[in-house]
Homo-oligomer: A and B are copies of this chain.
Amino acid sequence: MHILIIGAAGMVGRKITAAILADPAIGGRTVTALSLVDVTAPQAPDWPIGRVSAKAVDLGDPAAPAQLIADRPDVIIHLAAVVSGDAEMHFDKGYRVNVDGTRALLDAIRHTGRHTGDAYNPRLVFASSLAIFGPPFPNRIPDDFAPTPRTSYGIQKVIAELLINDYSRKGMIDGISLRLPTICVRPGKPNAAASGFFSGIIREPLIGQPAALPVPDTTRHWHASPRSAAGFFLHAAGMDTASLGHRRALNMPGLSATVAEQIEALRAVAGQGAVDLIRPAHDPLVADIVGGWGEDYEASRARALGFTAESNFEDIIKVHIEDELGAALPAPAAQ
């Protein structure tokens, strides 16, 4: 089985790659080849038992799609995107990559083998986002709640979902779109994303560093770990899609937690010393952006289809410690 990951150099792409290398089985089949592409070439891991390629490909390039699918990967995991802030700033660039690039990929697939009776119908797993939803929200967002994004990025993600629904309904691809929660604890350095503090207030104290909290601790948000996110894609890559019908976009499961609950979990796992490193530093701009996000989702279709995520925030922290900190708390934060 051959897997193509478009956008493989990003955090989720690297987690999926690592998970496949650790256990190269998807839906009962063995993965024997892995093609990793991104705007800049991803690192090609050592993989003695399978074939790995790593290439730089820009999905905004009209020639890219045909090149990507030339050797007919069985599963395409499509993570490539011009991200939120960039798409908001650069209108044409966002549409060119997020909409036109995705559509060109779908068209390249449907034209492959079309006239030779040798049609190509790969599983395509697309990374969408729960940022497609916009206010006003109910307290708990149902699966059939209408997407009304407040960003060009969100609009572009919904358009891609709709195309994937239509091409799948027509039997041209076998697609599924995963609307991802905020990934927490995000590894790496603090970044400028408005959602960055949700990870920062856990990640930084765990290594003895201070972290700013720009919102009230009553702020509620929807989280899943990087490990769960990789699991969503691998489950979607191997699942039976027959029951999806014409609705192939799924709200992914997660955990609804307030910042206060995050902090309590940090205290339970790493002690008061870690919690003391969180410094309230109210930022009205961040608070306003975060106030426009959903707080809780039913995600019942996805759960019924076998997608799973953490059910308490301590587990999310423990996943971070196991996967990023070598399963041990460094000395400074430990009690």
Contact = CB atoms under 8 A, between A and B. Distances in A.
Given A144-B145, A145-B144, A159-B159, A246 B166 contact: no
Interface string A230-260: 0000000000000000110000000000000
Nearest to A147: B146
The size bracket of the interface on A is: 20 to 34
A180 interface: no
Contacts of A158: 162
Contacts of A149: 162, 165-166, 246
A91 interface: yes
A231 B146 CA distance: 26
Contacts of A148: 144, 165, 246-247
A169 interface: yes
B165 A155 contact: yes
Nearest to A107: B92
Nearest to A165: B155
A54 B216 CA distance: 60
A162 B155 contact: yes
A150 B162 contact: no
Contacts of A147: 146
Interface string A157-173: 01100110110011000
A237 to B, nearest CB: 23
A166 B144 CA distance: 21
B91 A150 contact: no
Interface string A165-191: 110011000000000000000000000
Contact of A155 (B146, B155, B163): B163
A134 interface: yes
Interface in A91-145: 91, 134, 143-145
A152 B165 CA distance: 9
A144 B145 CA distance: 6
Nearest to A144: B146
A150 B134 contact: no
B159 A162 contact: yes
Interface in A258-287: none
Contacts of A152: 166, 170
Contact of A247 (B134, B145, B162): B134
Contacts of A145: 144-146
Contacts of A166: 149, 152, 155
Nearest to A158: B162
B169 A246 contact: no
A79 to B, nearest CB: 21
A150 B170 contact: no
Given A155-B163, A155-B166, A159-B163, 11 more contacts: A134-B246, A146-B146, A148-B246, A148-B247, A149-B162, A149-B165, A149-B166, A150-B246, A152-B166, A155-B162, A159-B159
18 contacts: A134-B246, A134-B247, A143-B146, A144-B145, A145-B146, A146-B146, A146-B147, A148-B165, A148-B246, A148-B247, A149-B162, A149-B165, A150-B169, A152-B170, A155-B163, A155-B166, A158-B162, A159-B163
